[in-house]
Amino acid sequence: MIPALYLAGVMKEFPGLNRAELEFLLAELLACRRSELPLRLVSDEVSQAMMPLVVRLAAGEPLAYILGYADFMDLRLKVSPAVLVPRADTEWLMASLFEHWHGPGPRRILDLGTGSGAMLLAALDHWPEAEGVGIDVDAAARAVARANMRALGFEERAEILPGHWFDGADGMFDLILANPPYVALDDPELEGRARQYEPALALFADDAGMADIRHIIDQSPQYLRPGGCMLVECGHRQVADLVTLMEDRGFEEPLALHDGAGRPRGALARLGRDGLASMGKLP
């Protein structure tokens, strides 16, 4: 059977499913690209293998967990229910970081709550001379990050350490990355599949989602070299508070960053004024 007819039948049986996600699943089973589906046929064996995956998708399980991987920037990353699914919102923030960074790249990068390692590994991929440290309190998440580090060939330039935020961090850094928990427990905007399937430890924070952000901003000057930068992701209603926290801790002119929908999604700032000449000035 041609894929178009097969998928039409699946969507009739499971109305409401995302066609693109079904195509990704089918392409995975057919060992081809999604764009190559029209050139393939769906055998009975493939159909039988597909149905349990469709049932998981219909139950709300994120596609990335079913596939076992997610694409982030130019990297393919292993993912599991131990880590958040890397999102396009974070890709936009990383792309903005690269766009606004002028001059030599950072020598040492710290990624707090590294999860899958997405932000750290994307930064190391962009700056081939940099070294990095990823810290995560969860052992299963660290295992995923280490697997990605090895698969992408960054063993000599990165290490994944246990710790709660800055616990275990040693020395000073030129760039700190953080995508901490920032969702309030009663946030009505959180999609159901994230609440049901993704790790609560990486999603939810007290104080209307700001507790971990406050801690990170408060401690960060102890670990940043003069002129060092910090990128923090947060919810679109939290950016103003994030910017204020950064300013209160000595960060210069924090820059609000936006996601693909144009909503504020985080902030990038430099600590103090020293080092501007060598590392470039943020707009």
Q: Is the dihedral of CA 10, 65, 25, 23 positive or negative?
A: positive
Q: Alpha-carbon distance 133 to 69, whole Å? A: 22
Q: Is the dihedral of CA 149, 152, 155, 156 positive or negative?
A: negative
The pLDDT score that the predictor gives to residue 281 is: 47
The pLDDT score that the predictor gives to residue 65 is: 97
Ramachandran class of 165: left when φ > 0, alpha when ψ lies in -120 to 50, beta otherwise: left
DSSP string computed for 134-163: EEES-HHHHHHHHHHHHHTT-TTTEEEEE-
Rg (alpha carbons) of the chain, rounded to whole number: 20
Residues of the chain with CATH 3.40.50.150: 82-279
Residues of the chain with CATH 1.10.8: 3-59
Q: Alpha-carbon distance 203 to 173, whole Å? A: 26
Class of domain 82-279: alpha beta
The pLDDT score that the predictor gives to residue 95 is: 96
Q: Report, as ranges of residue numbers, the positions in the chain whose pLDDT lies below 70.
A: 273-283
Q: Are 80 and 68 in contact (CB under 8 A)?
A: yes
Provide CATH code, domain 3-59: 1.10.8
Q: Alpha-carbon distance 60 to 66, whole Å? A: 11
Q: Alpha-carbon distance 150 to 91, whole Å? A: 21
The pLDDT score that the predictor gives to residue 273 is: 53
The pLDDT score that the predictor gives to residue 158 is: 97
For β-strands 75-78 and 69-72, DSSP reports them as antiparallel
Strand order in the sheet with 224-233: 158-162, 131-136, 108-112, 173-178, 224-233, 264-271, 251-258
CA nearest to 238, candidates 162, 179, 183, 199 = 183
Q: Coil, strand, or helix at residue 48? A: helix
Q: Alpha-carbon distance 24 to 34, whole Å? A: 6
| Cα end-to-end distance, the chain, whole Å | 55
pTM as predicted: 0.91
